[in-house]
Amino acid sequence: MTWELFLLFFQQSLMSGLVTGSIYALLALAMVMIFNTTDVPNFGQGEIFMVASYIALVLLVFASVPYLVMIPLTLAAVFFGGAIFQRLVLKRVALARGASVNLVIATLGLSYFLKGVMRQTGIAEVPRSFPALFPTDSVSIGMATATVQDFAILGLALAAMAAFFLFFHFTRTGRAMRAVGMNPRAAILVGVDIERMRWLVWGLSSAIAALAGILISPKLLMTADMGIVVILGFAAAIVGGFTSLPGAVVGGFVIGIVENMVGLFVSSKAIVVAPFLAIMLVLLLRPQGLLGGKATAKKV
């Protein structure tokens, strides 16, 4: 490999890795939020992301709703969908038996359910997309190439992450949510309505997944099985420490860049396994993840 080629590959993997990584970061963020407040790794996350993308498609293309109306409508619909699932199903499961594995299986049920429903609609058989909000003209930075849309994805994802950071640190509700994550009993003692926090978190987390869907669908293409991307969100969350919100963001970028580097410098065949190797490596060297605190005794 020549030096010039090395430079090209290196710069391009950083560029592309940041863009796709920002989506993994959003998905990881959504996952970690739910895990922190309800102790559930949400196996239905990918399908929430998938359904949200199709809602966006139907509104935008089939119902010709303008973009700026479609976004809030989709986010709201998915927010309430997530909240309703928590109120209707998970609350009941938690009451029936606190064990988290039951909650996990319920989210798994959600994932099958949503996939099945989407297949019934008949619009999920062919890969689809909707027009991107931003142009897809290419721009060069150094030797790397990206599109205007890519920069928009990265920018909007970062803005969303910043907004959530501010929300968690400077609003009452956000702080209450964090409190529930850190110590639910203490949170109740200081008067936090823990039930309300739980459905709020489910709603918010689903809305983040929906945002990820809206941003990436024009780039990634939609199918009923697109939820599989969430595995990379999982990987990002683990690399980042699973309980840490900033960790999830960092983890997302790490996974995005690692995927591209492995693809360019090792082999395209190894791209799929790269995230899993990253997980094992991080867990072996630093079991609590890159930014995770001390591993606490949480039950799965």
Partner 1 sequence: MKIGTYIQSALVVTAAALLLSGAAGAQEPGLSKDSIKIGLFGPMSGKALAYGEDPLNAAKMWYDRINKQGGIWGRKIELVQEDDRCAANDVVAAVKKLVEQDKVFMLNGGSCSTATVAAQEYVLRNKVPFVMLNASGDSALYPPTDYIFGAISISQRAVGGTMIDFATRSLKVKKLGYLNHDDAYGAWNLEAAQFMAKEQGATLIVESVNPDITDITAPILKLKASGAEALLVTAYARPATLAIKKAHELGWKTPIVIAVNGIANLVQMVENVGTKEAFKNLYIQELLADVPGGPKLQWVYDMYKTAYPELAKTPDHPSPYMPYGLASAMVVTHALNLAGPQPTREGVAWVLRNLKFESGVMAGPIEFGDNDRAGQESAIFLKFEGEKGVLQPGVYSNKWKYKG
Partner 2 sequence: MKRATLAVVILLALFALPMVASGYILYLANLLMVFVVLSLGLNILIGETGQFGLAHAAFYGIGIYTAVLLNNATGAPVLVTLLAGASLAALIGLVLGAISLRMRDIYLALSTFAFGEAVRWVFASWTPVTGGPNGLRINPSNLFGFKLVTDRDAYLLVLVVTLAFLLLTIQITRSRLGSAFRAVRESEIAAAAMGVNVRGVKIAAFALSAFYAGAAGGLFTTFSSFIHPESLGFMTTIMVLTMIVVGGLGSVVGAVGGALILGLFSELLRQLLSFQEIIYGAILMLCMMYAPRGLMGLLERKQAGR
Binding positions for partner 2, rule: CB under 8 A: 35, 41, 89, 92-93, 96-97, 99, 101-103, 105-106, 108-117, 119-120, 234-235, 238, 242, 269, 272-273, 275-277, 279-280, 283-284, 287-288, 295, 297-300
- Segment 156-215, which members bind partner 1 (CB under 8 A)? none
216: closest CA among 33, 63, 26, 45? 26
In sequence order, the β-bridge partners of residue 141 are 144
Residue 159, token pair as written in the block:
């803005």
Structure tokens at 47: 């399908």
184 binds, options partner 1, partner 2, none, Cβ within 5 to 8 A by partner type: none
Residue 173 interacting entry, from partner 2, partner 1, none, C-beta within 5 to 8 Å by type: none
Residue 229 sits in the site that holds partner 1 (CB under 8 A): yes
Cα–Cα dist 176/200, whole Å? 11
The residue written with tokens 């956000």 in the block is 174
Decide which of partner 1, partner 2, none touches 108; Cβ closer than 5 to 8 Å per partner kind.
partner 2
Residue from 214, 264, 278, 279 in contact with partner 1 (CB under 8 A) = 264
Residue with tokens 């150094």: 142
Partner that binds at residue 103, options partner 1, partner 2, none, CB closer than 5 to 8 Å by kind: partner 2
The minimum distance between CB 173 and partner 2, in angstroms, equals: 25
Please state, as a whole number, how many other Cβ atoms lie within 10 Å of the Cβ of residue 62: 10
What is the DSSP secondary-structure string of 181-216? HH-HHHHHHTT--HHHHHHHHHHHHHHHHHHHHHHH
User: Which of 117, 272, 277, 283 touches partner 1 by CB under 8 A?
Assistant: 272
Whether 83 contacts 202, CB under 8 Å: yes
Give strand pairing partners of 239.
none
Distance (Å) of CA 130 to CA 47, 56, 155: 18, 8, 19
The least distance separating partner 2 from the CB of residue 170, rounded to whole angstroms, comes to 28
Residue in 241, 248, 256, 227 with CA at minimum distance from that of residue 111: 227
Which of 20, 14, 38, 30 is CA-nearest to residue 237?
Answer: 30
User: Taking CB under 8 A as the rule, does residue 142 contact partner 1?
Assistant: no
Taken in order 98, 102, 108, 110, the sign of the CA dihedral is negative
Q: Could you tell me which stretch among 115-123, 154-162, 177-185, 237-245 binds partner 1 (CB under 8 A)?
A: 115-123
The item of partner 2, partner 1, none sharing an interface with residue 131, based on CB under 5 to 8 Å by kind, is: partner 1
Residue 228 touches which of partner 2, partner 1, none (Cβ within 5-8 Å per kind): partner 1
Cβ contact 127:222 at 8 Å? yes
Compose the 18-57 pattern: x for residues touching partner 1 by CB under 8 A, - for all others: --x-------------------------------------
Q: Does 223 bind partner 1 (CB under 8 A)?
A: yes
If binding is defined by CB under 8 A, does position 125 make contact with partner 1? yes
Which range in 71-79, 152-160, 240-248, 263-271 contacts partner 1 by CB under 8 A?
A: 263-271
The angle subtended at Cα 38 by Cα 98 and Cα 75, nearest 5°, is 135
User: Are 249 and 161 within 8 A, CB to CB?
Assistant: yes
Binding residues for partner 1, rule CB under 8 A, total: 42
| Residues lying near partner 1 in the complex (CB under 8 A) | 5, 8-9, 12-13, 16-17, 20, 119, 122-123, 125-129, 131-132, 136, 138, 145-147, 218, 220-221, 223-225, 228-229, 232, 256, 259-260, 262-264, 268-269, 271-272
